[in-house]
């Protein structure tokens, strides 16, 4: 565990050692604001809540998180530093967890910096802050699932562009499976049980409940299980590459 924290601390420091991190955060905050206040119709809704803000998170993460995760292992493999990392007295699992936690913490920092929007809605009205806290928690856990997928894809290639594109496609499948148009397409010819299974694989389905303030244990288990599964796949992918 100590090795995991050491790697995580080193990787997190590396993020803020380059201008790329600050550019990412600025773009993240600008897009969050644009989607919430303009596309989400924050003021036109005349409601003291942040639903217009959180409803766009899956779609923003669909592109922003792969942009963050594409360098996790692809860059290590391209520069050859992955061999150096493997010679250190740390296990592969510790290395994978450390790099993932660093990226997750960086995402948490970017998400926390959206607090002016929270202050704004409290200034304009009397929102249910418990619901907002739950939505922030759900958003962060969902971001972790996006990151875990991106981490695995990044471990499979040296090319960061390929890692980004493939991650977007895979994450898009997880998001799109709960889209009403997709469910309507399948509803005419698949059994209701299978239709429910397709919907249950969607980030949209699980996050929709959480952002309304309902901390559904099944949704938490879904996201955490997905994170664990994709991180395990990351270790398998790296180990297979190392063996070859």
Helices 71-79 and 217-243 cross at an angle (nearest 10°) of: 10
Q: Which of 37-41, 80-84, 234-238 has the lowest mean pLDDT?
A: 80-84
Does the pLDDT value for residue 188 go beyond 90?
Answer: no
Map tokens 């036109």 to a residue: 44
125 phi and psi angles, rounded to 5 deg: -160, -160
| Cβ neighbours around 56 below 10 Å, total | 16
Backbone angles phi, psi at 19, to 5 degrees: -65, -20
199-241: pLDDT as tens digits: 777 888 888 888 877 777 888 899 999 999 999 999 998 887 6
Average pLDDT over residues 12-33: 86
What is the share, in percent, of the chain residues with pLDDT greater than 70? 80
Rounded to a whole number of angstroms, the CA Rg of the chain reads 19
Average pLDDT over residues 134-158: 92
Quote the tokens at residue 14: 């590396």
Question: Quick check: pTM over 0.85?
Answer: yes
Are the C-beta atoms of 148 and 107 separated by less than 8 Å? no
DSSP at 158: S
In whole angstroms, what is the distance from residue 25 CA to residue 8 CA? 19
Taking Cα atoms as reference points, which of 193, 192, 154, 159 lies closest to residue 171? 154
Q: Compute φ and ψ for 10, nearest 5 degrees.
A: -65, -45
Highest mean pLDDT among 25-34, 66-75, 233-242: 25-34
pLDDT computed for residue 41 by the predictor: 67
| Mean pLDDT within 79-98 | 74
């Amino acid at each position: 565990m100590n090795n995991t924290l050491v790697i995580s601390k080193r990787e997190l420091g590396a993020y803020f050692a380059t201008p790329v991190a600050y550019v990412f955060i600025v773009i993240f905050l600008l897009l969050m604001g644009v989607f919430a206040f303009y596309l989400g119709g924050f003021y036109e809704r005349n409601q003291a809540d942040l639903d217009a803000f959180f409803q766009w998170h899956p779609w923003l993460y669909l592109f922003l998180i792969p942009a963050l995760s594409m360098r996790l292992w692809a860059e290590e493999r391209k520069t050859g530093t992955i061999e150096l990392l493997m010679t250190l007295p740390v296990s592969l699992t510790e290395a994978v967890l450390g790099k993932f936690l660093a990226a997750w913490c960086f995402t948490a920092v970017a998400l926390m910096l959206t607090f002016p929007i929270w202050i704004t809605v409290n200034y304009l009205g009397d929102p249910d802050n418990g619901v907002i806290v739950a939505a922030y928690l759900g958003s962060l856990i969902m971001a972790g699932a996006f990151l875990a997928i991106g981490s695995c894809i990044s471990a499979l290639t040296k090319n960061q562009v390929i890692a980004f594109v493939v991650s977007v496609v895979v994450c898009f499948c997880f998001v799109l499976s709960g889209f009403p148009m997709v469910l309507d397409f399948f509803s005419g010819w698949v059994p209701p049980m299978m239709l429910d299974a397709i919907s249950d694989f969607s980030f949209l389905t699980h996050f929709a409940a959480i952002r309304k303030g309902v901390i559904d244990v099944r949704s938490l288990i879904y996201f955490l299980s997905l994170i664990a599964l994709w991180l395990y796949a990351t270790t398998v992918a790296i180990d297979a590459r190392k063996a070859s």
